[in-house]
């Protein structure tokens, strides 16, 4: 059975996730480690639980979600996997990181293969379905496990909120809302949503009370 460990890293309080199963294989999603102590925290968890990282996944490539890509590559030889539409976002990071006060950003390696808009990725005996949700960024992906009843939502759906759509490359709030209601709200109400920032929530809860999604077609 798939298990999840979450960490909150960097100045943006970004949520980094490690998914793992009984084989000891794991996937690292959106590694946001910026400082040495944050890197040590992730490494210690993986070591202490005898895990073997097999996948490095990015929901999208905003700076706070890719800080740790280079560290994961250096430690475990994994290159990131994300949708090709996020490549310009990744490539812009070195130019704007110093403007945001992050002078120690380490350049992320490039993928050997990109993820499609749909399909699955696998590690150990587990798999994750890909759900394409542009809006906050040009080619954002969410990762869904029906068996575990969980969704790694990145910066699409939050507890009581949705992702910003005023950043470079965003495709707009209307696109994001439409994608959430058409592609995420068809998931079971019991599905736990693990967002890129803030606390976990559920599909059912956000259907009922998210003010940005009021009036969606039930």
Q: What confidence score (pLDDT) does residue 46 get?
A: 98
CA distance 141 to 122: 15
Taking the CA atoms of the chain, what radius of gyration do you get in angstroms? 16
- Digit-coded pLDDT (tens) for 34-52: 999 999 999 999 999 999 9
The ranges assigned to domains in the chain are 3-213
Percent of the chain having pLDDT more than 90? 93
Percent of the chain having pLDDT more than 70? 99
Cα-Cα-Cα-Cα torsion 195, 148, 144, 40, nearest 10 degrees, comes to: 50
Q: Is the pLDDT of residue 170 over 90?
A: no
Mean pLDDT of the chain: 96
In the chain, what is the straight-line distance between the N-terminal and C-terminal CA atoms, in Å? 32
| Structure tokens, 157 | 């759906």
CA distance 81 to 130: 12
Q: What confidence score (pLDDT) does residue 172 get?
A: 85
Contact call for residues 79 and 54 (beta carbons, < 8 A): no
pLDDT band, residue 173 (cuts 50/70/90): very high
Q: What confidence score (pLDDT) does residue 217 get?
A: 62
Q: Which pTM does this prediction carry?
A: 0.97
User: Which distant-in-sequence residues (6+ apart) come within 8 Å of 11 by Cβ?
Assistant: 34, 64, 101
Contact call for residues 2 and 19 (beta carbons, < 8 A): yes
Q: Is the pLDDT of residue 97 over 80?
A: yes
The CATH number of the structural domain formed by 3-213 is 3.60.15.10
CA distance 135 to 93: 19
Residue 44 dihedral angles phi and psi, to the nearest 5°: -65, -40
Contact call for residues 182 and 217 (beta carbons, < 8 A): no
Question: Which range is least confidently modeled, 22-31, 89-98, 136-145, 168-177?
Answer: 168-177
CA distance 136 to 133: 8
């Amino acid at each position: 059975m798939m298990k999840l460990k979450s960490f909150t890293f960097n100045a943006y309080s970004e949520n980094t996730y490690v998914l793992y199963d009984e084989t000891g294989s794991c996937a690292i999603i959106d590694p946001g480690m910026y400082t040495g102590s944050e890197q040590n925290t992730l490494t210690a968890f993986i070591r202490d639980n005898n895990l073997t990282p097999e996948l490095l996944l990015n929901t999208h490539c905003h700076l706070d979600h890719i800080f740790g890509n280079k560290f994961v590559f250096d430690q475990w030889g994994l290159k990131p996997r994300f949708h090709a539409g996020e490549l310009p976002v990744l490539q812009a990071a070195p130019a704007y990181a110093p403007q945001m006060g992050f002078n120690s950003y380490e350049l992320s390696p490039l993928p050997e293969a990109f993820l499609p808009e749909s399909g699955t990725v696998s590690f150990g005996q587990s798999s994750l379905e890909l759900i394409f949700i542009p809006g906050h960024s040009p080619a954002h992906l969410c990762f869904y496990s029906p068996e575990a009843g969980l969704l790694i939502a990145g910066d699409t759906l939050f507890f009581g909120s949705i992702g910003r759509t005023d950043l470079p490359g965003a495709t707009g709030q209307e696109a994001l809302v439409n994608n959430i209601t058409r592609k995420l709200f068809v998931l079971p109400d019991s599905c736990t949503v693990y967002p890129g920032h803030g606390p976990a929530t559920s599909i059912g809860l956000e259907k009922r009370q998210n003010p940005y999604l009021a009036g969606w077609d039930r």
